[in-house]
A = this chain, B = another copy of it.
Amino acid sequence: MTALHFAHALLPDGWAADVRIEFAGGRIAALQAGAAPGDAERHAAIALPGLANLHSHAFQRAMAGLAETAGNGPDSFWSWREAMYRFLAHVTPDHVEAFATQAYAEMLEAGFTAVGEFHYLHHAPDGRPYDDLGEMAGRVVAAAASTGISLTLLPVLYRQGGFGGQATSAAQHRFVNSPERFLALLERARAQIAALPGANVGVAPHSLRAVAPDDLAALLDAVPSGPVHIHVAEQLREVEDCLAWSGQRPVEWLLARHPVGPRWCLVHATHMTEAETQALARSQAVAGLCPITEANLGDGLFSLRAFAACGGRFGVGSDSNIRIDAAAELRLLEYGQRLAHRARNLIAPPGASSGRTLFDTALRGGAQALGRATSGLVPGAPADIVALDPTHPSLVAQAADGWLDGWIFAGDRTMVRDVWAGGRRVVEQGRHVGRTVQHRRYATALHDLLSTA
């Protein structure tokens, strides 16, 4: 039994002072506000529930900053994707484990205590499965185990190179499985996470581009519960291709044909009509927004103001992992809206803080998208706590919701001081407890990859 005592904590019904929290078995066993510290470890800190990072491609962390050179033609998501395919051509299981370990440790240092890994790199460079079909997934699981982040493993079904059954390219062969082999991979994934505390498994049909209607329907029949994540409407070209193929836009197509609801996470959903925006909000599915990556890739802006006005649910993901920072994702999400609408505080209701509104919504949406029953600091919830340093200059004169405004709008990575995930203290004084070894393995793996590429 671990007992901690925080100066302040954000509880489901608001801020509380002198909060004593006891952990047992990776969960919050007891929680009392206005409590004496007693024998608890004392933290003069602001305790927040950890956020879920609902969309990650962990290995892409190693590409960060390697695709920022202009090509000879116009650069876009599609030219970036070619760079990503070249990068992954030589990626081995050892590389994936080193890269994912680095990425997950950074997530913990940056305020995320859970991650949804949208895992599509299944096979060897020649496209053949490894002897263990779940070899790559196992490396992701190992990275989660060693760093302590709670993992939602989302094996990706990838079947075709584009709408209407186009052939996959050679670079995509590492992603492809038959429906039968995919179900075997899923079974293997369930076994792989069985011993990992706080882990679960969902499914990720990659996109309407990459999964044909029959395959999507069969997958949903075969897996009737748990998280379903799908990339959708990230790019205008995808919308145009979908229209040419089906006469409908991607979100429209999906909502018309499947019972999209709370188990679903529609990742990006950048390009929607007003009708799609309202329908997605009504569906109670989560919009998986990845503002930093969407800006880096030039995707465009999600219609957050309209979506939130209809009660739409959302969470955030670090996607390409070019930068990993929970506060920065929420900040850029709000800033995109402010720039588009030339106004401020666009999501918060009158009198409410933008920081608190963004945080609460992303906390709930992230937990829902990852199939986690509870979020927030309550008995029974996972013992996932992010402690902010109240002496940071941007927090020192704040209180209550102002701490979230300070973190999100005026913060930097040094504000996150200590982090517990599943009851385990994984970050101390801003550094993951395994950082030295993680950095060394990461650098070695990356040098090795780039020297063979």
B342 touches A296 (CB 8 A): no
Contact A296–B354 (Cβ < 8 Å): no
**A299 contacts the other chain (Cβ, under 8 Å)?**
yes
CA distance A300 to B336 in the complex (A): 10
Chain B residues near A66 (CB-CB < 8 A): 397-398, 402, 405
Q: Does A341 contact B (CB under 8 A)?
A: yes
- Annotate A297-318 by CB proximity to B: 1 below 8 A, 0 otherwise: 1111100000000000000000
- Contacts A350-B71, A405-B66, A410-B64 known; A300 to B397 CB distance under 8 Å? no
Q: Within the complex, what minimum Cβ distance (angstroms) separates A175 from chain B?
A: 23
Select which of B71, B343, B443 is within 8 A of A396 by beta carbon.
B443
Are A397 and B450 within 8 A (Cβ)? yes
Q: Is the CB of B446 within 8 A of A79?
A: no
Known A65-B398, A68-B354, A394-B65: A341·B298 in contact at CB below 8 Å: yes
Residues of chain B lying within 8 A (CB to CB) of residue A184: none
| A401 interface hit (Cβ, 8 Å) | yes
On whether the beta carbons of B393 and A75 are closer than 8 Å, the reply is: no
How many monomers of this chain does the complex have?
2
The residue on B at minimum CB distance from A336 is B339
Chain B residues with CB under 8 A of A77: 344
| B72 & A323 in contact (Cβ 8 Å cutoff) | no
The contact of A70 among B70, B323, B338, B352, by CB within 8 Å, is B352
Knowing that A68-B353, A69-B353, A298-B343 touch, tell me 8 more A-B residue pairs with CB under 8 angstroms: A68-B408, A69-B352, A69-B354, A79-B344, A295-B338, A297-B338, A301-B339, A391-B439
Listed A/B pairs (24) with beta-carbon separation below 8 Å: A65-B409, A66-B405, A70-B345, A70-B352, A75-B343, A75-B344, A75-B346, A77-B344, A102-B393, A294-B339, A298-B344, A299-B342, A300-B339, A322-B410, A323-B410, A323-B411, A339-B339, A391-B439, A391-B443, A393-B442, A396-B443, A397-B443, A412-B413, A414-B414
